[in-house]
Amino acid sequence: RCQAPGLAATAASPPSDPPLSPPSPLHHHLCLITQQSPSSSVILQAPSLRLLLSPQTQPAHPYPPPSPAKTVVFFAFIAHRPSYHAPSPTATMRSKFKDEHPFEKRKAEAERIRQKYADRIPVICEKVEKSDIATIDKKKYLVPSDLTVGQFVYVIRKRIKLSPEKAIFIFVDEVLPPTAALMSSIYEEHKDEDGFLYITYSGENTFGSA
């Protein structure tokens, strides 16, 4: 809530954000309803909110309000810090397979695989960095097109010898794909420009669901 003499205005303040360095104000528009228009520009401040109220007004409705109160609607500029988002654990993570093999070599290999095995999908599966889950012994897979995501997860569990009581999550472009989705559909939607589908796995839900 922000208040000034002769002026009552209510605004929802954003949640308290972690400190940003350096701060980068972000401007938005907010429509406020008050009982009185300011006679001059007024600046209202709160811990994480700054309002600049100008005397320029705009009616909320083309017809006069039914009540005798002179309700005025005006627009204010809000300058506040954008919501803080913790950096993604793999925001700067690059596929080790990409580091070990140049783009042209990867692209040529993916094209050769697709030509020779039309019903197979070239997949690169790697562990999310810093995850405490076991590291897979094989990164490259030729996956049947009609295999579901859930079935592929089962294959990965077997490869890393994961016990039944432990969880595993796989991610495509940092999102959990639907378990019932076909790998062919995931491939067509998320394949890399080199022709491979890159999948990462972790023992924790590091990102989110599709």
pLDDT reading at 120 higher than 80: yes
Q: What is the pLDDT of residue 40?
A: 52
Token couple for 152: 């592929």
For residues 186 and 151, the answer to whether their CB atoms sit within 8 Å is: no
What is this structure's pTM?
Answer: 0.55
Please identify, in words, the CATH class of the domain defined by 96-209.
alpha beta
Buried residues in 27-51 as b, exposed as e (16+ CB within 10 A): eeeeebebeebbeeebebeeeebbb
Q: Name the H helices within the chain.
A: 96-100, 103-116, 149-159, 183-190
**Residue boundaries of the structural domains of the chain:** 2-80, 96-209
Q: 128-173, pLDDT tens digit by residue?
A: 988 899 999 999 999 999 999 999 999 999 999 999 999 999 999 9
